[in-house]
Chain A
C-alpha cells in the first residue's frame, strides 16, 4: 500500500500470477511486518493520543469519552496529580543549586561547542530538545530530593534507569573481564550466569521478597544477631527502592555479561599478548586494547537495556506494590494504577509522557553515544 519496491515497475503487458508475485516480492515481504506494526503501534498510538485528551466515564450500557483538550496533562504537570507524577517540591539548599547550575552550564557548553562547528537545523533542534528535557528532569530531581520534597514517579523511573543500568553494566563488564581471562570452566560460568535472565520478573520479585523476609528468610538469623530483625525494608523509601534495584540488577546483569564476554572473546588476541610481552599491565591493556575493541558493542547493549529499563513495572508492582507511599512506583505502574481506577485519560497521559521521555533519552543516547562509538571503531 505505502511501499512500492523499485523492482515492481510493470514492464510486461500481461503477467501471470506467479510473475506478479515475484515482481512485487520486496513489497510483499515487508508488508506483513508493516501491517502488524501499523495495527499495533501506529493505530494504537493515535487512539492513545485521543484517550489522553479525553475524559473517560462509565455510562449506561458502555462508556463515554469526552474531549477535554490538555486537561489530563495539566492535571499531571501542575494540578492535583502533580505530587504523583513529578513529586512534592522541597527547598533545595545552596549545594544542590550549585550542582544544578553546574549541570546547566555543562549543557550550554556542549550546545555552544556544537554550534561552533557546522551545525545543521535538525541537529540543533534535536540537541535543544535533549538539553531541555535533561535540564528539566535534573531540576525536578534536585527539587524533589531536597529537604521537604518527595520524588514522584518520573524521578523514580529515572532512578531505576540510571542507577540500574549503570550497576548492571559495571557488574556485567567486570564479570565478562574476569571470565575473559584464561580460566577453566568458562562455559560453565557462562551457562550459570545466564540463568537469571530467563526467570520471569514476577518470580524474581517473589523470590527476593522471600529472601529479604526479616523473620523467615535465609538471612534472618544474621539479622537477629545484629538486632535489626524488627526493622522492615518495605517501610522505608530508600531500602524499598534498593530492593527493586537489586532484583532488576540480578536479572539484567547476565544480559550485559553475555554480550560483553562474546565481544571480549572476539578481540584480537595477538595484540593483547604483544602488549603483555612489552610489559603493559592489566589496566593499560584494558584501556588501550580491550575497551576500544568492545566500545561499540558496549554502547549498543546499554542502548538495548536503556530501551527496556524505562518499561519497568513487574518488579515494583509485585515486590512493593509501589509503596511505601509512592516511593517505588514507576511510570508504567502509575499508568496501570490510573487505569485500574477507571482514569483512562490520565493513564494514557502518563503513558504518553513516558513515551516522550524514553524516546528522547534513547534517541539521544543513540546519536551522542552509540553512533560516535561506532565511528570510533571504523
Chain B
C-alpha cells in the first residue's frame, strides 16, 4: 500500500505511525475516557455543590450551578465546622488512621523482612500444642469459671513442658512460606467474625471507645496487607549490601533500619497510602468499638441520617472534608501507588 493510493477515508482509520493510533480511534478513545471522567466527577461535584446549599434549598428541586441557579451559602459549613462538634471525630480519625498505619507498617515490614531473609523452622507439634492449650484455656475460663490467671499459668507451664519433652522429637515443621501464607490469609477473615470477641475483649480491659482500641484493631486488620505488599520489595533488593554491613558487625535490626528500609522507600509509600486509606474509611469496626469519645468520621457521616431524614447539606460538608486530604496526598504520590501495587500483585 503506497501513500498516494490512500483515500481520505482510509487515512482516518489508519495510524500514521506504529506508535500512534488512527484519528478515528483517537476520537473514540478520548470520548470514552471523557465519559468515564464524568462518571467519576458527577457524584463528587454533586456532593461539593450540595454542601453549599443551605437547608431549605435542597428541598426545592435540583440545582446544578452555584451563582447561576442558586445562591451558595456557607450555612452548612458554618454549622458543621463551628457549631457542631466535627473537629473531635476528625481528630480521632487522623490519630487513629495515622497511628495504626505507622504501627502496622513498622510491625509488618519487620516481619516481612525477617521472612524474606531468615529461614524459619517451626515445629508443627509446637504450633498444635499451643493451639490446643489456647482452646483449653478459653474453654476453662468461659465454661468452668476458672480464674484466667491460673488457667494461663497452667497452660504456659504445660506448653514449656511439652516443648522440652515432646516437640523436639517430632520432624514435621512449617517453613517461611507457610508462616507467610498464614499471615496473609488472615485478611480473608471477615471483620464481622472478629468484632464481637474484640468488643468483649476491650470491654473487659475497659478500653471501649478509646483511640488506643481502634489503633490496635486497625493495626491487626491491616497487618496482612503490609506483609503481602512489602515482602516483594525486600526480596527485590540485592543481598550484598546487607551482607557487607553484617560483616562490619551491624546487627540485623540495624541493617533493617539503616539499609533495607531506605532501599524500599517507594514501596513503603504505596503501602502506607493504601493502608492509610483503608484505615481512614473503615466503618464496621469503628461502629462497634467507638461511640462518643473516639467516634471516627465514617461513623459521624452515617449518623447524619437523623429522624427528620438525612441532612444532605451537612453530610456533604463532612464527605468533602473527609475526601479532600486523601485526594491531595494520593494525587501527589500517585506514581508510587501504581508501582507499589504492581510489585505486590505480580509476585504476591
Interface residues of A, Cβ cutoff 8 Å to B: 1-7, 18, 21-22, 25-26, 28-30, 32-34, 36-37, 39-48, 50-51, 65, 67, 174-175, 178-179, 181-183, 187, 189-204, 206-211, 215-218, 220-221, 250, 258-259, 261-263, 266, 273, 276-277, 296-297, 300-301, 303-304, 307, 310-311, 313-314, 317-318, 331-332, 335-336, 339, 344, 347-348, 350-352, 354-355, 358-359, 362-363, 370
Q: Is the CB of A67 within 8 A of B281?
A: no
Q: What are the residues of chain B within 8 A of A336 when measuring CB–CB?
A: 192, 284
Q: Answer yes or no: B70 CB below 8 A from chain A CBs.
A: no
Contacts of B292-308 to chain A: CB distance below 8 A: 297-298, 301-302, 304-305
Q: Which one, A33, A206, A216, A350, contacts B315 given CB within 8 A? A: A206
Asked whether, in the complex, the Cβ of B46 is within 8 Å of the Cβ of A207, the reply is yes
A192 touching B197 by the CB < 8 A rule?
no
Say whether A202 contacts B219, CB under 8 Å.
no
Q: Is the CB of A216 within 8 A of B193?
A: no
Q: A4-B122, A22-B251, A336-B284 are in contact. Are A29 and B114 (CB under 8 A)?
A: yes
Q: Pull 11 A–B residue pairs with CB atoms less than 8 Å apart, ordered by A.
A: A5-B118, A194-B337, A199-B44, A200-B323, A210-B47, A211-B42, A258-B337, A259-B338, A263-B342, A273-B18, A363-B188
Tell whether, in the assembled complex, residue B64 and residue A218 are in contact, meaning their CB atoms are under 8 Å apart: yes
Interface flags for B102-128 (1: CB within 8 Å of A; 0: not) read: 000001101101110011111000110
- Are B194 and A183 within 8 A (Cβ)? no
Residues of A within 8 A of B29 (CB): 178, 181, 183
* Bound-complex Cα distance A314 to B301 (A): 12
Q: Which residues of A contact B42 (CB under 8 A)?
A: 211, 218
CA distance A52 to B288 in the complex (A): 18
Known: A26-B120, A192-B40, A307-B188. 8 other contacts (CB 8 A): A21-B253, A33-B111, A47-B197, A178-B29, A198-B327, A199-B44, A199-B319, A203-B301
Residues of B within 8 A of A206 (CB): 301, 304, 310, 312, 315, 319
Task: Check B193–A355 contact: CB distance below 8 A.
Answer: yes
CA distance A101 to B95 in the complex (A): 54
Taking a contact as CB atoms under 8 Å apart, the answer to whether A33 and B193 are in contact is no
B198 at the binding interface (Cβ < 8 Å): yes
CB of A296 within 8 A of CB of B107, answer no
Complex contact A203–B40 (CB within 8 A): no
Known interface pairs A190-B334, A200-B301; A40-B198 also in contact (CB < 8 Å)? yes
The answer to whether B194 touches A262 (Cβ under 8 A) is: no
Name the one of A50, A196, A354 contacting B142, with C-beta atoms under 8 angstroms.
Answer: A50
Using Cβ atoms and an 8 Å threshold, which residues of chain B touch A47?
A: 138, 142, 196-197, 200
Q: How far is the CA of A210 from the CA of B345 in the complex (A)?
A: 36
Contact A44 B21 (CB under 8 A): no
Whether A25 touches B251, Cβ cut-off 8 Å, given contacts A47-B200, A203-B301, A276-B18, is: yes
Bound-complex Cα distance A277 to B331 (A): 37
Binds A, one of B54-62, B79-87, B146-154, B237-245: B54-62
Is B189 touching A41 in the complex (CB atoms < 8 A)? yes
Contacts of B269 in A (CB 8 A): none
Measured in the bound complex, the distance between the Cα atoms of B305 and A317 in whole Å is: 12
B193 touches A250 (CB 8 A): no
Which residues on A sit within 8 Å (CB–CB) of B26? Answer: 183
Are the C-beta atoms of A48 and B251 separated by less than 8 Å?
Answer: no
Decide yes or no: A33 and B227 within 8 Å by CB, A44-B198, A355-B189 being known contacts. Answer: yes
Identity of the chain B residue whose Cβ is nearest the Cβ of A175 in the assembled complex: B36
| Complex contacts, B159 vs chain A, CB 8 Å | 1
Interfacial residues of chain B within 230-274, with CB under 8 A of chain A in the complex: 251-253, 256
Q: Which residues does chain B contribute within 8 Å of A190, judged by CB atoms?
A: 334, 338
Measured in the bound complex, the distance between the Cα atoms of B200 and A51 in whole Å is: 11
Docked complex Cα distance between A42 and B159 (Å)? 17
Q: Closest Cβ of chain B: how far from A191's Cβ, in Å? A: 5
Q: Establish whether residues B345 and A258, one from each chain, have CB atoms under 8 Å apart when the complex forms.
A: no
CA distance A210 to B217 in the complex (A): 32
Contacts of A32 in B (CB 8 A): 107, 110-111
- Residues of chain A within 8 A of B221, CB atoms compared: 40
Whether A300 and B348, one on each chain, are in contact in the complex, defined by CB atoms closer than 8 angstroms, is yes
Q: Please report the C-alpha to C-alpha distance between residue A277 and residue B17 in the assembled complex, in whole angstroms.
A: 9
A354 and B190 form a contact (CB under 8 A)? yes
| Contact mask for chain B residues 318-337; partner A; CB cutoff 8 A; 1 contact, 0 none | 11001100110011001001
Looking at chain B's contact residues, the main secondary structure is helix
| Contact B192–A194 (Cβ < 8 Å) | no
Tell me the bound Cα distance from A250 to B42 in angstroms. Answer: 11
User: Of A2, A50, A296, A363, which is within 8 A of B122 by CB?
Assistant: A2
Question: Min CB distance, B275 to chain A, in Å?
Answer: 13
Task: Tell me which of B21, B127, B327 contacts A182 (CB under 8 A).
Answer: B21
Closest 4 CB pairs of A and B: A40-B220, A29-B114, A25-B252, A47-B197
Chain A residue numbers with a CB within 8 Å of B41 are 192
Judging by beta carbons under 8 Å apart, are A48 and B194 in contact? yes
A344 to B134, CA, bound (A): 22
Residue ID in chain B nearest A203 by CB atoms: B319
Residues from chain B with a CB closer than 8 A to the CB of A277 are 18
For A265, give the chain B residue with the smallest CB separation: B338
> How far is B47's CA from A39's CA once the two chains are assembled, in angstroms?
40
Please give the distance in Å from B212's CB to the nearest CB on chain A: 14
- Once the chains bind, are B186 and A46 in contact (CB under 8 Å)? no
Q: Which among B29, B62, B193, B223 has the highest number of chain A CB atoms within 10 Å?
A: B193
In the assembled complex, the Cα of A114 lies from the Cα of B200 at a distance in Å of 46
Distance in angstroms from B297 CB to nearest chain A CB is 7
The CA of A255 and the CA of B223, in the complex, are separated in Å by: 19
Q: How far is the CA of A42 from the CA of B47 in the complex (A)?
A: 41
Q: Is the CB of B341 within 8 A of A259?
A: yes
Among B26, B43, B122, B227, residue most surrounded by chain A Cβ atoms (within 10 Å): B43
Q: Is B277 an interface residue (CB 8 A)?
A: yes
A300 to B36, CA, bound (A): 24
* B338 and A203 contact, CB distance less than 8 A: no
Chain A proximity of B151: nearest CB distance (Å) = 13
Q: Given A18-B251, A339-B196, are A33 and B108 also a contact pair (CB < 8 Å)?
A: yes
Nearest chain A CB to B185's CB is how many angstroms away?
A: 8
Q: Look across to chain B and name the residue whose beta carbon is closest to the beta carbon of A196.
A: B40
Once bound together, how far apart are the Cα atoms of A201 and B40, in whole Å?
Answer: 14
User: Which of A48, A193, A344 is most buried by chain B, counting CB atoms within 10 A of its CB?
Assistant: A48
Q: Which residues of B contact A266 (CB under 8 A)?
A: 342
Q: Is B280 an interface residue (CB 8 A)?
A: yes
A3, closest chain B residue (CB): B122
CB neighbours (8 Å) of A297 from chain B are: 342, 345-346
